[in-house]
Amino acid sequence: MAKILIVDDEKGMRELLEIMLVREGYSVVAAADATIALQFCRDEIFDLIITDLKMPNIDGLSFIREAKKISPGAMIILITAYASAETALAAMQEGVYDYIEKDLAIDDLKRIISNALNTKGAKQEDLLFLKEINRQVRFGEMIGKSSEILKIYATIRKIAQTPTNVLILGESGTGKELVAKAIHENSPRKGMPFVVINCGGIPENLLESEFFGHCKGSFTGAYTDKQGLFEFARGGTIFLDEIAELSTFLQVKLLRVVQEKTFRRIGGSDDISVDVRIISATNRNLLEMVKSGRFREDLYYRLNVIPLFLPPLRERKEDIPILTNYFIEKYSKELRKDVKTISAYAMELLMEYPFPGNIRELKNIIERSVALETSNIILPDNLILPVGTREENHGAASSNLEEGAGNLNEELAEFEKEMIAKALRKANGSKTRAAEFLGITYDSLHYRCEKLGISS
């Protein structure tokens, strides 16, 4: 049974909330002012605190600061009859879950309270999940709790102990190198080298030498003997990223290493034996390349003993919040900023975005946002996402570009105003219902109306 603290100097409002919440099955404690409420916080642990903004002696924001020190795990909802964008921002910076007006419908208030308590439970589960994962196996920077990523973790555990070659498939930015490293670090080869070669990032005329090395005098510029990366990786793991970019000539050379575990340096006559596990990766359809004759079939089946598919981020959206918080913490430390979290509306924007660049793109977005943010919370204005990503905006954006539209920000603002105005008309002026029509939260609609100067 969740325990809720109500803080409001208005007796009628306090009693209304108390009766409603008790009927919903919650354990409720009510306080007429912040001083009494702080004493309750010292005596008991609350899951949720609902507090008024305007109160005598200690106002709502001051109370929240003190309550957070005593009960850092409590979710907080600020409820007021005096809403403003400035107060909303201040409340969010203090870690408030939601900021709502007193004229909100009872059903909507019940829903917000339920969501707040569910969010608290989810955060606790996330922490336990991360502790469990970190305790069981090292995955480097691999983070996620979706069923898709948990399957990847389970597969890594199974295949890490074998010497079998692995082919990792997935779009660019999904973390293929991190998976390869996790396999290596959880294998018997973990004390040996882990060598990464980007097959598409090295000119073809240099790639053979990088792979296998060369002997002195074998070509112009070969002034000394050079050890290749396959030789350097002996006993360990070699990760061949963008394997589809290999030329037919190098595919033949690689096939010999895979089949016979031997190779020769350029200009050399001696066979060099090597024990190395090969993990390959590509964002292309290798099987189609085999059918069209661009990739050797025998090499494909040698490399693709164990296929491992990494789903794109848009198919594992429940991982976005936990990845976002991880990157916020990472870049706050690296950039020496005090950014602690992200606003609810900014997170909604991330959840709606399709992330064509996957985790790599999310990481770049958060790094940029942390660098630009001047407060301790990432707000929508500093969450710079590529425009034209929403399906409903695509047609309008294309049309405007063809007509030579001027200011892009003005065009987007006008489009958003029009959508909100239509929703408000349809809802007869009710922001709560309009938010439902638009598929966003009441808080998000309130923020947008304030930003765009829309009154209802």
Is residue 4 scored above 80 in pLDDT?
yes
Query: Higher confidence at residue 222 or residue 411?
Result: 222
Percent over 70 (pLDDT), the chain: 84
Could you tell me the sign of the dihedral formed by the alpha carbons of 175, 176, 178, 182, in that order? positive
What DSSP designation does 310 have? Answer: P
Is residue 396 scored above 70 in pLDDT?
no
Q: What is the pLDDT of residue 139?
A: 59
Q: What is the pLDDT of residue 430?
A: 80
Domains and CATH numbers, the chain: 3-127 (3.40.50.2300), 147-311 (3.40.50.300), 318-382 (1.10.8.60), 392-452 (1.10.10)
Query: Higher confidence at residue 205 or residue 202?
Result: 202
Is residue 141 scored above 70 in pLDDT?
no
Per-residue pLDDT band at 111 (split at 50, 70, 90): confident
Which residues does residue 98 pair with via DSSP β-bridges, in sequence order?
77
The contacts of residue 4 (CB under 8 Å, 6+ apart) are 21, 26, 27, 28, 29, 46, 47, 48, 49, 50, 113
User: Average pLDDT of the chain?
Assistant: 82
Integer Cα distance of 116 and 107 in angstroms:
14
Least confident segment among 222-231, 370-379, 444-453: 444-453
Ranked by mean pLDDT, the top range of 359-368, 378-387, 435-444 is 359-368
The average pLDDT across 299-327 equals 92
Alpha-carbon 152 to chain mean position: 17
